[in-house]
Structure formats: C-alpha cells, structure tokens
Amino acid sequence: MSGFTRAEVCAVACADLFAADGEVLASPMGTMPIIGARLARLTSNPDLLLSDGEAFLLADTPPLGGTAPLEGWLPYRKVFDVVAAGTRHVVMGANQLDRFGNQNISCIGDHDRPKRQMFGSRGAPGNTINHRTSYWVAKHAPRVFVERVDFVSGVGYDRAVGPHHDVHRVVTNLAVLDFAGPDHAMRIASVHPGVDIEQVQAATGFPLVVPDDVPVTREPTDEELKLLREVLDPKGIRDKEVPS
C-alpha cells in the first residue's frame, strides 16, 4: 500500500501505547485514542478490553460510530473499581501539560475565579495515581505544553506519590514523548515522519530532553492501513483530527 497520512501515523502511535498492556481495560478519550485502542485490539493486543463509553464491554471491535456485540457490564461504579484495582490504561486529553507530565483539564487562570472553566478534574487525579496513563494532544503547541500548568488535575512525576503512578507517553500530531529524561523530564521518544526536532521544540513551551539519536515514529504497516481505512475509520474521521 503506497503512502500514509500523518493521522495514520498518530493512530498507530496511539495503538502502540496499548501493545504491551495485556488484559486490561483501555479507556481512550477522544477520536484518535479510540482508533488506536481498537487498532491495538485488532493487531498487537487482542486481549485488550474495550468499552462502549456507556456501560458495556465490547466482545468485538466496532468501527468509529458503530456498535458491536457485548461481553460484559461496566457501569460507572465498576469503572471506579477498575481504577482502584489498576487494571486500566487511560489516554486522556490535556488543556495544559508540563515537562513532568502534570496535566490540567480543570480551569485556566486563578482557581477562585478562572479565566476559563473547563471540565474540572474528572477522574484525572485518581487515574494518574492508580494506573498507567498516557496523553493525546491533537495540536502540539506552546499553549498546551507549558512551563507550569494552572491546575494539576493529572499528577506528574515531580508530584507523584504512592506505588502505582505510571505516566507512560504523550502522543501528539508531531511526535511521541516519554518521561525518560533526568528526573522523569519529558523527552522526545520519536518524531513523526516528515517532522524535525526543531519543529517539535518550537511547539513546546519548555526545553525537551533530546537524545543523541532521535528515531522516527514507525510507519503504519500495510495491515494497519487496511484496518484503518476499510474497517475502523472508512469515513476518514482521523484526518479531520489531524489534517495532513
């Protein structure tokens, strides 16, 4: 299969987040992480559990917007049990993210009277302190990657406590980042094909750790492209989230 889009690279990078997870619940927030989790179940991790975003576990892997047969019941009260048990990998969005992986989805500005109120912390504090957490940022920009977040919803490495904190990676439209720098500082793990390191740094509001050899994010395989284009996302919704 010839050629691939940036969105397809992102989908595969999101799928790779779940590749080594085994039999855990994937909780992808947003279009690209959802595509990624479904792609992972069809390729690298068939044991992954998927939910319908309401109250059921899916026995099969549906396309975006589609339905699938059920394999179990997971209302919100049971989701909290899974969070506490730790058998979950959440991929959240972030209005702000700092170099140690602190995430803000609560509000911008002073908490007493914010300039902009968003969701609130949702489950981010509990997620990050209980089990593996990754982030998806559709538009890598200094507005998102900030020196200090205004409110710590998801907990980063410099504030981590307890035995279960595990912020894994950040996938963006430009790169994959991890926390393998000194003191778990954010590091460029790979840049997407066609992106250079300077571009990633320029879109980041703090200095990234840059290894001597920065790999290029792997290209989708023919099988993955076929699954993305013909099975999971035939309408090409991924390209709206990350235009080429």
- By CB under 8 A, name the binding residues for other proteins: 54-56, 73, 75-77, 80, 83-84, 106-107, 111-126, 128-130, 151-155, 159-165
Q: Nearest 5°: phi and psi at 139?
A: -130, 95
Closest CB to other proteins among residues 103, 173: 103
CB of 52 to other proteins, least distance (A): 9
Closest CB to other proteins among residues 82, 175: 82
CB of 109 to other proteins, least distance (A): 9
Closest CB to other proteins among residues 93, 205: 93
CB of 36 to other proteins, least distance (A): 21
Closest CB to other proteins among residues 83, 188: 83
In whole angstroms, give the CA distance from residue 204 to residue 144: 8
In whole angstroms, give the CA distance from residue 131 to residue 85: 8
Distance between terminal CA atoms of the chain? 18
CB of 70 to other proteins, least distance (A): 10
Contact between 38 and 62 under an 8 Å Cβ cutoff? The reply is: yes
Closest CB to other proteins among residues 117, 221: 117
Q: Which residue type occupies 28?
A: P
CB of 100 to other proteins, least distance (A): 11
57's enclosing H/E stretch is: strand 56-58
CB of 129 to other proteins, least distance (A): 5
Q: Nearest 5°: phi and psi at 38?
A: -70, -40
Closest CB to other proteins among residues 111, 226: 111
Listing DSSP states for 86-139 in one string gives T-EEEEE--SEE-TT--EE-SEES-TTS-SEE-S--TTHHHHHHHSEEEEEESS
The structure tokens listed for 5 are 């889009």
Q: Which residue type occupies 158?
A: D
